[in-house]
Amino acid sequence: MAEAESSKDVNTNPGDEWTCSHCTLTNASSEVKCIVCYNNRLVVGEKENIQYTPEENLLPKFQNNVLVTFFQDARSKASKFFIDPIASSHVPNLFVSKDCNLLDLACNNNEKKEDFYETQVKNDRILEIEKNNFVKNDVGKNMYSKQTSKLSENLRLNQEEIALEKWKEIVNFCKETQINFIDDSFPPANKSLTYTGAPFSKVSKWLRPKQISTMSGKKTAWQVFRSPRPSDIIQGTIGNCWFLSALAVVCEKPELLEKIMITREICEEGVYQVRICKNGKWVIVLVDDLLPCDRNGKLVYSQADRNQLWVPLIEKAVAKSVGCYEALIAGRCIEGLQLITGSPCESIVLRNKPGDAPEDAVDKDLVWARLLSCRNAGYLMGASCGGDISDAHLMASYKQVGLEAQHAYSVLDVQQVETNRLIRLRNPWGRGSWTGAWSDYSPLWTDTLRNLLRAHGSDEGVFWISLEDMIKYFDCVDVCKYQREWTEVMLEGTFASPTNHGQVCHITVFAPTEIDITLFQESNRGSQTESLASLDLWIGVFRATSGTAEPKPIKYIAHSDRKLKPSVLCNVFLDVGEYLIVPAAFNHWNSGVTYTKPLNYVLSIHSSKAVLTDHIPMTRYSYSDALFLMVEKLGRKHQGIEGVTCYYMSHKLAGLIVAAENRRPDVHLLVDCDCNKSFNVVSTRGSLVTSDCVPPLRRQILNVLTQLEGTDGYSVCHQLKFRISQANAFGGDGSHQDPLLKNGLAEIHNPREL
C-alpha cells in the first residue's frame, strides 16, 4: 500500500527518463524502481531529478559506405569490383582504393591488419550512456566509464541485427554488379595460408562450394547446417585439434553452435559472417566462401560431413583473425571454447606435472566434486588426453587402450554409481573407443547398470571411463560455463607498468550475485616466434572504500590463479556492496624486455544479476595494498620477533610473493631476502637478493617472483634474515632498499602505512 502511494506522485510524462539517485543509471519513464539497484524513483518535489541526453554525436558511428572493398587495376586506373582471381590473373596488380574503408579498418594488401569489424552494441532498454559518464582516453577513442552488465543473449541479438544490415548491403551490391564477393583482406593467396606467404604444397587452388569435389562423390547440395553433430567434423592437414575439439564440444548444444554463424543459409554471392570472441572481445568476421583445395578439388583443411559449410567457414574466420591458416597449429581446447562461445572457461587439472609445488597437489575428491558440479550446471566440458606427450612409445601406449594422445574428447556425463565414479566421453572423430575398465565390453557391467547408463556406444566413439583411469590418461577437463540468462560486460584497459598506473574496475553489486571475471591479454597466436602468452595474469577482488572518487582496496575477497596463459578466471559470490577488481601482470616490470606497444587487456565480467561497473584509473599503491591484503590473509608466516611478521605465498601463483610487516612503533625492521636458489623465474626487483629497511608501523612487498617461461618447469625458494634496529642501519631514519626502487617500482614495493 505504501509503495502504491509513493508511485502515485512520480512524474511519468511520456518520453521522460529519470536518473537513479543511488546508482546513477538512466531508467525509462515507465519504471517506478531502478531496474538495476531497485532504488525507488524520486517523487516530484523531493529533489531535482536531473535528466541527461546521450551525446549522440559523440557515439561511435558506422560509416555509410558499403562494407565491401573496391579494387583498382594499377595499369588502367579503372575501378573494378571484386575481381575474382579464379577468372583473372591480375590479382597481384590490384590494390585497395583508399576511398573505401571497411569500418575504419581498411586493409592494404601490403599490410597485415585484421579486417574484421566490431559492431556497436545497442541497448534496447537502458540508456546508460550519460553526459557525466562520457570520457575520452589518451588515444582519442570514445569510452564510457560506467557500464551496466546486460543479458549476453540481448548483446548477441543486437550485434547480429547490425551485422545483418551490413551483410545485406554487400549482398545487394554483389547482385547489382553480378559478381561474387572476394575478401581482399584475407585473399585466396599464399599469404593467407602460411606465415611467410610461401606456398603450401597441398593447396593447388581456391574453390567455391559448387566447384568443390564432395567426399562422397555425389552431387549433394551444400548447406551451412544440416542437423550438425560432433561426428560431422573432419580434421584437415593442419594440427588444429584444439579448435575442432572445441567445436565438437559446442556441437553437443546445436543451438549454441548456430549462434556462431550469423549467416546460416547458403549465400549465392559468397558473403558470410562469423561471430567469435577474440581476446575477450566479440568481433564479427567477414569471410568469402573461397576455400583451399587440392589438385583434385577436395578441401585441404577441416570440413564437415554431409556437405555442410559451418566447419570450413568458422575455421576460415578464425584463421583470418590470426593472420593465416598455419597460425592455427597447436593449442588447448579451452582457447577454442573461449574463442567460439565468449563464455567464462576454466580448466580442472587432473594430474600434477613434474616440479609442481606440494601445495598444488591434485585432490581427487575435489576434482570429482567439481566435475559433478559442472555436470549439474549443464556446462560444456572437453577433456584433454595426453596433451603434453610427444614420445612415440608413450603415444603408442595410448593407442593400445583405444585412446588418442594429443587429442580432446567431449565430456557427456558424470555419474557416481555406488562407489564407482564414472565419466562418459565422446571421441569427436566418431570412432575409436576406450578398451579398459568400464568400456562397452568390460565384465564390470551388470545388465542393470548397462541399461541404466547406456553402455553401448563404442561404435560411435562414446564410452565410459573411471575417474582413476581418467586421471591416468587425461591432463585436464576444460569447462565452458555458458549460461544463457547471465549478464555480461566487457572493459578494455592497460596494465600498470613503470610508466603507467593502469586501471581497475570499480563494481557495485545491488543484490547477492555470482560473478565470473576473465582477464585476457593480447594473444600472440599469429606470431611465428613468440609464445602464446607473454604476461603472467592475475585478478584480485577486494572490498573497496565507498563514497570516494578514488576507491582503494580494504579487504581481500578472492583471487584467480596467476598464470602465464592467454587468460585467467576468477569465480566469486559477492554480497551487496562496492568492490575493486584489480587486473595485474608482474613479469614485465623488470624483465629487461622492451615492449614496443601498450600492454593492453580485456576484462570480461559475467554475472547472475546485473551489476554496475566503473573503469577508473588505479589509485596509487593499489598494487602494493592489494597484494599485501592477499598475502596477509592466505600466506604463510615467519615470526620470531614480537610485533614483526614476514609472509610468503606461492600456492597457484606461478612464482612467489614475499612481504614483511613491522607493527612496532619504535624500531626499524631490517630484512634480507635471498631467492638465489629459485629457477626459471624473473623478479620485479630485478634481483633475486634484496635488502630492505621497513620503518615503524609500515608493511612492504619485498619481492615478486614470476615463472619466466610457461612451457618450462620452475622452482621458488627463499631465505629470510630479519632483525630490528633503532635506526635504519643506513645512516638515519626512514626506509631503504637495495636494489633501489627505480622505474616505477615504488607502486609495488614502497613501504605502506599499516
Pairing mode of beta strands 281-288, 17-19: unpaired
Q: Which of 207, 175, 188, 183 is nearest to 116 (CA)?
A: 183
Over its C-alpha atoms, the chain yields an Rg (Å, rounded) of: 29
**Residue 621 exposure: Cα atoms within 13 Å on the Cβ side:** 13
CB atoms within 10 A of CB 369: 11
Indicate if 680 belongs to the active site.
no
Residue 277 backbone phi and psi in degrees, to 5: -115, 95
Identify the three-state secondary structure at position 358. helix
Q: Look at phi and psi of residue 237 and say left if phi exceeds 0, alpha if psi is from -120 to 50, else beta.
A: alpha
Identify the three-state secondary structure at position 297. coil
CA distances (Å), origin 192, targets 94, 196, 257, 270, 284:
16, 9, 25, 18, 19
Distance CA 563, CA 717 (A): 18
Indicate if 606 belongs to the active site.
no
DSSP one-letter string for 579-622: EEEEEE--TTSSSSPPPSS--EEEEEEEESS--EEEEEEPPTTH
Q: Which of 20, 34, 37, 241 is catalytic?
A: 241
C-alpha cell at 380: 560444456
Q: Which of 589, 609, 608, 612 is nearest to 599 (CA)?
A: 589
DSSP one-letter string for 616-675: EEPPTTHHHHHHHHHHHHHSEEE--STTEEEEEE-TTSSEEEEEEEE--SS-EEEEEEE-
Peptide bond into 739 cis (omega under 30): yes
Identify the three-state secondary structure at position 383. strand
C-alpha cell at 225: 547446417
- 393: Cβ contacts below 8 Å, ≥ 6 apart: none
Q: Which of 20, 107, 407, 570 is catalytic?
A: 407
Q: Which of 27, 133, 180, 427 is catalytic?
A: 427
Indicate if 651 belongs to the active site.
no
Torsion of CA 244, 249, 251, 255, to 10 degrees: -130
- 5: Cβ contacts below 8 Å, ≥ 6 apart: none
Reduced 3-state DSSP string for 165-200: HHHHHHHHHHHHHCCCCCCCCCCCCHHHCCCCCCCC
CA distances (Å), origin 710, targets 521, 531, 534, 693:
15, 8, 9, 33
Distance CA 515, CA 3 (A): 31
C-alpha cell at 205: 587452388
Q: Please identify which residue in the block is written with the cell numbers 593502469.
A: 502
SS3 content of the chain, % helix, strand, coil (to 5): 20, 30, 50
Q: Which residues are designated catalytic?
A: 241, 407, 427
